[in-house]
Amino acid sequence: MSTLPDIIRDFERVPAHIVQQAAEFQPAILADVAGRRGGLDGRIRALRPRMKLAGTALTVEVRPGDNLMIHAAISLAKPGDVLVIDGKGDLSAALMGTIMMTACKQLGIAGVVIDGAARDSLEIHEMDYPVFCAGTNPNGPTKLVPGRIGHPVSVGGVTVHSGDFVIGDADGVVVVERDKIEGLLPMAKKKVRDEAARIAAIKTGDTAAKWLDSALRAAGALKEGETL
């Protein structure tokens, strides 16, 4: 019986042209066409609202407050990867700061998502490097405890595999399975068109939600035949 190594170096990534196409959509659009799922818990937010990221997940699992395996992941990452770090939601110490983020930017890593804390937030903002995290803390981490790279992780209540598509903006972060993202793109394009048409209609005075009465009847809030 063979066991997987703690560090999985090779996995299939989302093709760069698919990342580029998917990155044109808001995370909200992709979450909707993915079945209203894949959005990380709202506590994981951009350090600054205008930050955006899109790329392929490289997963990292660490013990709370220890960033040893994040340094290893930075060494293994390929351009276009997004570090997705399961820091167990711990906010007692920052897992990454300016030095590590500078290295990530220099290597072409597309961004960082941390279920944990970061620090040096003002400097990271000035770098214009996309970082999404659960909070900040000036305390530094330890570098003592082994973890895992490339294994499935739970980040913000969502299971993430290395190779999944990751996208983030001011609303938060959405993860879509690698083998599903390409097939969602036509649906996303249609949804953007439909929403634009609906907004245009609302601006002309067509504000009524056509589906509302039937939904209220189905929910038992209105009787059959009754309308608002």
CB distance 165 to 178 below 8 Å: yes
Q: How many CB atoms lie within 10 A of CB 73?
A: 27
Give Cβ neighbours of residue 159 (< 8 Å, ≥ 6 apart).
152, 153
Residue 98 among known ligand-binding residues? yes
Residue type present at position 126: E
Residue 65 among known ligand-binding residues? no
Residue 99 among known ligand-binding residues? yes
Residue 97 among known ligand-binding residues? yes
Residue 181 among known ligand-binding residues? no
CA 46 to the chain's CA centroid: 10
Residue 213 among known ligand-binding residues? no
Closest by Cα among 120, 168, 148, 190 to 60: 148
Cite the annotated binding site for Mg(2+) by residue number.
Answer: 120
Cite the annotated binding site by residue number.
Answer: 97-100, 119-120
Cite the annotated binding site for substrate by residue number.
Answer: 97-100, 119
